[in-house]
Homo-oligomer: A and B are copies of this chain.
Amino acid sequence: MKKFINDPNDVVAEALAGIAAAHPGDLRVDTAGQYICRADAPRSGKVALVSGGGSGHEPLHGGFVGPGMLDAACPGEVFTSPVPDQILAATKAVDGGAGVVHVVKNYTGDVMNFQMAAELAADEGVTVETVLVDDDVAVENSTWTAGRRGTGATLLVEKIAGALAEEGGKLAEVAAIGREVNTASGSFAYALTAGTTPAAGRPGFDLPDDEIEVGVGIHGEPGRRREKLRPARDLVRSALDAILEAKPVADGDQVIVLVNGLGGTPLLELYLVYGEVATVLAERGVRIVRRLVGNYVTSLDMAGLSITVTRVTDEMVRLWDAPVRTPGLRWGA
């Protein structure tokens, strides 16, 4: 394993120190509590958004803390959900009296730890609403299993719900629009290589030089199946088929598209892929009204990408366009 680190056990703590040093004035990092929050938190009367998850997905979530998006993020160990103490501390730190929304990606660990924190917060008088993100259509939806994973749509939920909270939305409204964005989203991902966690020290899986993993998540796990590499335009078509089957989009509907790199894929390829996505969606009469191309919800150094399509209302587009000022996403401010 070759990484720019010191001791594998200190990676998250030392990266947190770097984040603190890199964003003075904008972010506050509580090293004891292990969370990142807006420098101006708590904002009295504002609904606060807290998210978190394992580290290794940067800029998600710490890079999305700031006006117009999250109030706090709780980074767990690499690919390991944060613990309830962290989440509770962050929740209390940003609560401005109007309640707190937890944006939780649907993984067993994240769900359980956030749920425990929400119960503890309730005991201390903080009202918490949870928005569960489960957009990855590679996984079947079922009440008998852990269900679908939360992936790229997390960014859209955090941006759009965050904008509503910023402009004074009430707790129930902010949670509701977050859930609507999630329901309207579908994602699908491919991996060309496995990533390497500092703790494991070797790639999560080996892949022959002409094969890819299809339907992967963001934790370095293998996908639903292994296939031969195909040209980008074929992969895009298959991914969009899967997304649109699970989350149908009618002719004339407007969507936001995220072409998201998993960490090790050059931006050049992401743009090429976006070009293919635009072509296919145009053929199907779908109007892309906004889009984002880049590395936003990553899986360490995995070479791969995910495509997210979210059917949006005019109100969602308005909130998407609202000012945001975070390390990872910034416009209008």
Contacts and interface: CB of A to CB of B under 8 A. Distances in A.
A56 interface: yes
Contact of A267 (B58, B78, B231, B275): B58
Contact of A232 (B6, B63, B212, B278): B6
B266 A300 contact: yes
Contact of A192 (B2, B16, B233, B269): B2
A331 interface: yes
Interface of A: 1-7, 11-12, 14-22, 55-56, 58-59, 63, 78, 190, 192-193, 209-210, 212, 229, 231-233, 235, 263-276, 278, 291, 293, 295, 298, 300-301, 303, 305, 327, 330-333
Contacts of A305: 4
B58 A18 contact: no
Nearest to A231: B6
Contacts of A14: 272, 275-276
Given A6-B233, A231-B5, A18 B273 contact: yes
Contacts of A333: 331-332
A85 to B, nearest CB: 22
A229 B2 CA distance: 7
A266 B193 contact: no
Contacts of A275: 14-15, 17-22
A7 B230 CA distance: 11
Given A19-B271, A21-B274, 18 more contacts: A2-B209, A2-B210, A4-B265, A4-B305, A7-B231, A11-B272, A15-B271, A17-B272, A18-B272, A18-B275, A18-B293, A56-B266, A58-B267, A263-B264, A264-B303, A266-B300, A301-B303, A331-B333
A301 B58 contact: no
A277 to B, nearest CB: 8
Question: What 6 A-B pairs come out closest when comparing CB atoms?
Answer: A18-B275, A18-B271, A58-B267, A21-B278, A2-B192, A4-B269
A209 to B, nearest CB: 7
Contacts of A235: 4
B269 A266 contact: no
Contact of A269 (B3, B209, B278, B332): B3
Interface centre among A2, A3, A58, A273 (most CB of B within 10 A): A2
B15 A212 contact: no
A2 B55 contact: no
16 contacts: A5-B272, A6-B272, A15-B272, A17-B272, A18-B271, A18-B272, A21-B275, A22-B274, A55-B268, A58-B266, A58-B267, A58-B268, A63-B267, A264-B264, A268-B300, A330-B331
